[in-house]
Chains A and B, each alone.
Chain A
């Protein structure tokens, strides 16, 4: 490999990139903008579930009970209805996601020490939300029951409230949240978004850069030049590597300064792993660009290849350990999973190389394999 020829190719590529103002602006602007939009907007907590109530008892107990839902930040009260038919319409129209039906004789039965069943109607189109809302309802019911019970025992057995309370909760749970003590959605999302952003932007830049030459025919200049395969590939991709590297630093700064996510790990390990991941993502873009002929195909295939497995298999939304076995295998076939582990490990868990070396090694292997595949696919004497 001749360094002078490599540098010449790199310089040519850099000039072409810089000349296209919009492209250059986007290459730097897009990653930062994404981080900000998604970091603020992508809230995964199920809150403000819109609901309506049907109170068939209209007693002070039922009002007291329903008030617990109305004042909760998890629910958003949208009014009460008088018959079940109205609930049908509201759920069908997606004006509400949940309805609570308090039965007749609610107060009477509870005061007599009997059990009462409260019906909750849930919109199941979004199973996760329905399930989470169900959990909130059960939690409200449980705490209401416990208060009732304490109250009941004080009344019927003449216990003092403190004693009654001890009797009603023999076993309690103490939960400690590790790594993200306040369980903030942004803290878990923002580091993973660094991965997402790099994964989508870098391959796209690369793929378009290569296919552009193929489509306009300027690649024939390369075919007939003295630059070797390796010199062309390295020189061609150097500018994209530089852009992505600058972006890693910018994204890190956004995460730490704007979103105030703590960085507990080793910064050298983080940046080294990020370089490897950038090599992987550029490699993916390169392989795609060698398989397609038009920029249109490169564009669509790169976006889908970059986005879909990233959203689904990287651990961004769902932990890899919870995926089905088939999906877990797929997750291991892409580099995103390993880098997500490194990013979250470095930011939130404060891990060093000794606990993450397998992930870093996997990234290195992906980078080598992808570049070897690209080297094998690229030929200076294409057929036809």
Chain B
């Protein structure tokens, strides 16, 4: 006969309600851990999915994710010339915010190096990868864009051809994949009036200079679109990703590229580390500390509940002692109830979390390790939390039944 189960059954309603309350608390602890994991996974997602051996970024910056980085597009060809490099791709990323159906829509745009990279590696849940060099987009489902939908970005309209799952940027915004050219068009888009003013300013600057006065033909060229003026560079990219040929050591190639005065080169692991130490570090630490605090609060609340549950049974415990019950039996009664409460609360936390976490605006990733960690933490809390109740139960005198 199990006294703990009988007692729980006798007060089933109260016990279940307590377990639900505790389960909600544990669900929040679990959720905090999941958000912590989610932030880390979102932050490193692109770096890992892109699977580049080396990242070439603007000199002395920690780009392209932790810090702004600008490189000339031609860097791609320079990288390709380095021995050991199999493939180099331009990479463009920036975040935009537009209004859609009256609500703000934040999009983290990623440029794919068309035609080398069409986004076949993306985890598509519907549609397809990019099939043409312009005006197509693969969007994450968190953006709420369905296949076939069209969205105006800058001067052009882009059609959603594919939808991905769990492709989130380090800022928590859904990713949209365009070709590098389209991503640049969106990034450097300016309204017609601004373009006209820039051309007029360009002409004005040329007129003020000797070269403009001596070579009037240049004044006519100053009016042309930027792409048609050789003196003006092509739009910049955020970084260049490099994949090495098999057998080549990333560190050796990195060192040879690092000799270039205008760039800094990171390995994939270094880029990942930069992300974790940069934009997500504070958020991670904050959530981590909050989680520790929540665990402590859960432990205190659970201890109080277990203590109160023991106090309710003190008379019965005194009676059991009077009847000659061994300490082991009383210890078992208190501990088993603690583990029952902890176990039920844990299971409830898991199932409630499974239902609720998908509705959270950011990804909540509950890993097996985390579940194991929480199970161990709950077990420790059960033992430590019931120690106060056990202490009280051990101190109760059998003659209290007579009073």
**Do A and B associate with each other?**
no
Residues of A within 8 A of B (CB): none
